[in-house]
Amino acid sequence: MFSHEKFIVNPVSIAILKYIEVLLKGALVLDIKRLQILLAVVEGGSVTAAADELFYTPSGVSQQLRKLEEEVGQPLLQRHARGMMPTDAGHVLATHARTILRQMDAAVSDLDQLAGLKSGSLSLGTFPTLGSSFMPLVISRFRKMYPSIKLDVRSTRLQELVGLLSRGEISLGLLWEYEWLRLDRADFELTTLFTEPTVLVVGAEHHFAQQTEIDIAEAAKEPWIVRANEHPVAELLQRTCNAAGFSPNISFQANDYQEAQAMVSVGLGIALAPKSAVVNHHPGVKILSLGKAAAARSVVLAQRRDRVRAPAETAFQSLLVEMGGTWMD
């Protein structure tokens, strides 16, 4: 049963309770410098010793201590023949000050490490055609420059990448867009890295193979290999052929560009592809230019607008922009 007997509360407890009450009311902002001065006086034994250590004048130290005592509502130091000695409240606050200052030093050290890119991590997403061509080159160079940064790289389809960015599961996302299929700019900050042409992929023995550039109208009667599952390159093919006055005859629907190249190499048809998709092309195919007959694809770096940029993100973005500027040369 609860006892109504009075609790015995010592003066130090009262001071601490008052201090906490003031903090909770939001009336006090604890000054880290005053805590440092208090600790220096307690450890050095005098105002003069603290002033010498912290490059203050003795009067400046005394003034800061008075302000701290006013804030906590208790005397923190008392004068003795051998110098300044902490009161019980001064001992309590000095103990906390020592811990706080040590944690602040650790925080500054950690921030210096991040600013110097000597530690930290970075999560990013890319899509398969870039993951098999451009991104390995960027990652290889970044890791040589910043070997202590941990990279978490994911490769998936466009919509999944947008979802990962929206949920904050990745910091940076490499996305793509066509002129008729633009990305949403409301939530993302987009930086164009490069624009890549659409090229024509033909078999090494195909009658087009000896040319370097083809007029798309010449391919009106050719069978076509296209990406399956309503892939954007299928719409690109339809738009390109329709603009040239014909409708493509589809002979095979491939699940990826490697499969499409393999089928092209055995003469099942010809195909369109963004240039990045055929950087490492099948030995049995030739890559031809279409000039400006087919729309180009823009590759962009996407970041959420509401994110605070970590140093590793900024460094990786700079490298992407630099290397993207020469990727299609």
**What are 56-114's pLDDT values in tens digits?**
899 989 999 999 888 888 899 998 877 789 999 889 888 988 888 888 777 766 666 56
Q: Tell me the domain boundaries of the chain.
A: 11-115, 121-193+304-327, 198-295
- Asked if 224 and 248 touch (Cβ cutoff 8 Å), the reply is yes
Q: d(Cα 300, Cα 293) in Å, to the nearest integer?
A: 22
The rounded percent of the chain whose pLDDT value lies above 70 is: 88
- Are the beta carbons of 296 and 199 closer than 8 angstroms? no
Let me know: does 302 contact 165? Beta carbons within 8 Å: yes
Nearest to 71 by CA among 19, 136, 2: 19
- pLDDT for 5 equals 39
In this chain, the answer to whether the domains covering 11-115 and 121-193+304-327 adopt an identical fold is no
What's the pTM? Answer: 0.69
Kindly state the percentage of the chain with pLDDT values over 90: 64
Q: Which residue has the higher pLDDT, 325 or 329?
A: 325
Contact between residue 33 and residue 65 where contact means Cβ atoms under 8 Å apart: no
The average pLDDT across 282-296 equals 96
Contacts of 12 (CB under 8 A, 6+ apart): 88, 89, 92
- Which pLDDT tens digit goes with each residue over 121-140? 899 999 999 999 999 999 99
Please choose, from the candidates 57, 61, 41, the residue with its C-alpha nearest in 3D space to the C-alpha of residue 49.
Answer: 41
Which CATH fold topology does 11-115 show? Arc Repressor Mutant, subunit A (1.10.10)
**CATH 3.30.1490.190 given to domain 121-193+304-327:** no
pLDDT value at position 135? 97
Q: Which tokens is 41 given?
A: 């006086």
Burial, 191: exposed, middle or buried (Cβ in 10 Å; 0-12, 13-18, 19+)?
A: middle
In this structure, is the dihedral angle defined by the CA atoms of residues 98, 103, 104 and 109, taken in order, positive or negative? positive
Please state, rounded to an integer, the average pLDDT across all residues of the chain: 88
Contact indicator for 261, 189 with CB cutoff of 8 Å: no
Closest by CA to 38, choosing from 83, 80, 84, 104, is 84
Instruction: Tell how far CA 65 is from the center of its chain.
Output: 43
Q: Could you tell me which CATH class the domain 198-295 is placed in?
A: alpha beta
Q: What is the pLDDT of residue 54?
A: 87
Mean pLDDT, residues 260-277: 97
